[in-house]
Amino acid sequence: MNRLRGNPWATLVVLSLGYFMTLLDSTIVTIAIPSIIDSLHATLPQVLWALNSYIIAITVLLITAGRLGDRYGPRQVFVVGVLLFTVASLLCGLATVPAVLVAARVLQGAGAALLMPQSLALIVASFPRERRGTALGVWGAIGGVASVLGPSLGGLLINVAGWRWIFLVNLPIGVLVVVLGLTVVPDLRTGRRHTLDLPGVGLASLALACFAYAVTNGPDHHWGPLVWALLVAAALFGAGFAVRQRHRQDGDPLLPFALLRIRGYTVTLGIAAAITGATFAITVLAALYFQSVLGLSAFRAGVLLAPASAMSLLVALVAGRLADRVEGRFILLTGMVVQGAGILWTALLMSGPVHWTAFLAPMAVIGMGNGCSIAPRTTVAMRDVPQELTGAASGVLETVRQLGAMAFTAGVVALVQGLRSVTDGSGAAMRAATVLPIAALALGAVACLALPRERTEPAVRARPVPSD
């Protein structure tokens, strides 16, 4: 085991296993909703909270988790995150009432938030620049595997052993990742001690919590006064956070403004939000259309969505290697154009009666475009970030991606609800709503033009100080 300590590829395997668990649990629970309702005598809204609370907890804590990695070391925070996630998985599997399940899912989300930015920071620190794209392509492809495997693995576990095992299956994986994290992953630190801005943590968490709750539950509340009040509160807390951070820049801010002065990083934040938002939005629209308009079963709808995930996995591996040789902005631009074309193709098929298998090809094209962006959007964003800020940068990047997914998903659902009364049924409303992800990708493609050209020499970074 000592021979593997510090080996970047062994480190990547450990980090990818942890990342795999967190993404698997964002999709695997969906298939278990009917079983959980029957077993716990729960209502549908209660079980939906078990889904939403996980996503909200991740979104709220990502920025803070990234800074914790800068302070205590990314390996330590990664291991703590995996341990918390594993314990929470046990609590989920043992839950006998809905409230316990929801609380345990919040703890799961907290563990996922702790480990996610550390994974990215450790990959950036472990791999030289010329191999980083390949590593990030593998890491991103793991997400594609999790999204494909989640519903099918969940269905298998439920049929064989019951819904509790969709959580209990995390236990052996979690224990293995904790052990390997302590023995294989290197303890890389910058040598600088960071303090934690607790008032900043509070303001950021409140802003993100209000926003996440509003957009996640907006459709259920019909975008009424409560939702708009929460959005206003999110803006006020966000403004307070910005003011707080402005006065903390000479100290140890939660959000270093130095990150926002890195043009490649700042522009890529918007691009990442556009790509993630468009991907989630078209996935939701397609799933709704396949089941509510075409009348397909959940299984057939899953079959139609599978090519997108499978192609994302395959292309991400190739695009990651390509990103080590070609400027990332060109791969990003290509990916967004291809993904946009796939969504437009899907919209055109929605305009007339076609056999459901006709959607397989455009779904594959959408996946190809998304796969192109997985590695480059991270390599471009992190390229010029100093080593001592990688934790903060990773946390902000993952937060922006989560917010993009939430905002665009809520946006297309709101468009469908609003257009349904003025168009010829739900199908026409869903077709019209595809304009939102297409517009997001178009803006992202334009933003690529603002990305700086890659330099031949790597940026000057602080040297990590191994503590063991």
**Contact status, residue 117 vs residue 394, Cβ threshold 8 Å:** yes
Q: What is the pLDDT of residue 404?
A: 85
Query: How far is Cα 319 from Cα 312, in angstroms, rounded to an integer?
Result: 10
Residue that the structure tokens 């209990």 belong to = 168
Q: What is the pLDDT of residue 85?
A: 94
Query: How far is Cα 6 from Cα 309, in angstroms, rounded to an integer?
Result: 31
- Conformation bin of residue 224: beta by default, left when phi > 0, alpha when psi is -120 to 50: beta
1-186 shares its CATH topology with 255-453? yes
- For residue 458, is pLDDT > 60? no
Q: Using 50, 70 and 90 to split pLDDT, how confident is the model at 465?
A: very low
CA angle 14, 401, 86 (to 5 degrees): 35
- For residue 142, is pLDDT > 80? no
Task: Give me the percent of the chain exceeding a pLDDT of 70.
Answer: 86
Task: Give me the percent of the chain exceeding a pLDDT of 90.
Answer: 12
**What's the average model confidence in pLDDT over 270-275?**
89
Neighbours of 193 (CB within 10 A): 10
Q: What is the pLDDT of residue 182?
A: 87
Query: How far is Cα 454 from Cα 321, in angstroms, rounded to an integer?
Result: 16
Q: Using 50, 70 and 90 to split pLDDT, how confident is the model at 31?
A: low
Query: What length is written for the chain?
Result: 468
- For residue 334, is pLDDT > 80? yes
**What's the average model confidence in pLDDT over 399-412?**
83
**Helix, strand or coil for residue 6?**
coil
Residue-wise pLDDT tens digits, 87-101: 999 999 898 888 898
Q: Which residues contact 249 (CB under 8 A, 6 or more apart)?
A: 256, 257
Greatest mean pLDDT among 104-113, 136-145, 302-311, 452-461 lies in 104-113
Looking at per-residue pLDDT, the higher value among 155 and 236 belongs to: 236
**What's the average model confidence in pLDDT over 54-77?**
82
Domain boundaries, the chain: 1-186, 255-453
CB hemisphere CA count around 72 (13 angstroms): 16
Looking at per-residue pLDDT, the higher value among 337 and 458 belongs to: 337
Q: What is the pLDDT of residue 237?
A: 92
Looking at per-residue pLDDT, the higher value among 302 and 335 belongs to: 335
Q: What is the pLDDT of residue 299?
A: 65
Helices (H), 28-169: 33-40, 44-72, 74-94, 98-126, 129-160, 165-168
Query: How far is Cα 181 from Cα 186, in angstroms, rounded to an integer?
Result: 8
Looking at per-residue pLDDT, the higher value among 84 and 281 belongs to: 84
Q: Using 50, 70 and 90 to split pLDDT, how confident is the model at 86?
A: very high
Looking at per-residue pLDDT, the higher value among 278 and 25 belongs to: 278
**Contact status, residue 173 vs residue 22, Cβ threshold 8 Å:** no
**What's the average model confidence in pLDDT over 442-462?**
69
In order of 238, 440, 457, the CA distances from 263 in angstroms are 22, 20, 17
**Contact status, residue 77 vs residue 115, Cβ threshold 8 Å:** yes
Greatest mean pLDDT among 215-224, 315-324, 439-448 lies in 439-448
- For residue 468, is pLDDT > 60? no
Instruction: Supply 143's token pair.
Output: 């997400």
Query: How far is Cα 353 from Cα 129, in angstroms, rounded to an integer?
Result: 49
Q: Using 50, 70 and 90 to split pLDDT, how confident is the model at 462?
A: very low
- Average of per-residue pLDDT values in the chain: 80
Q: What is the pLDDT of residue 463?
A: 42
Instruction: Supply 343's token pair.
Output: 């969504």
Q: What is the pLDDT of residue 158?
A: 74
Q: What is the pLDDT of residue 25?
A: 76
**What's the average model confidence in pLDDT over 133-157?**
69
CATH number of 1-186: 1.20.1250.20
Q: What is the pLDDT of residue 88?
A: 94
CATH architecture of 255-453: Up-down Bundle (1.20)
Residue-wise pLDDT tens digits, 166-220: 888 889 989 999 998 888 887 776 555 666 677 888 888 888 888 888 887 777 7
- For residue 27, is pLDDT > 70? no
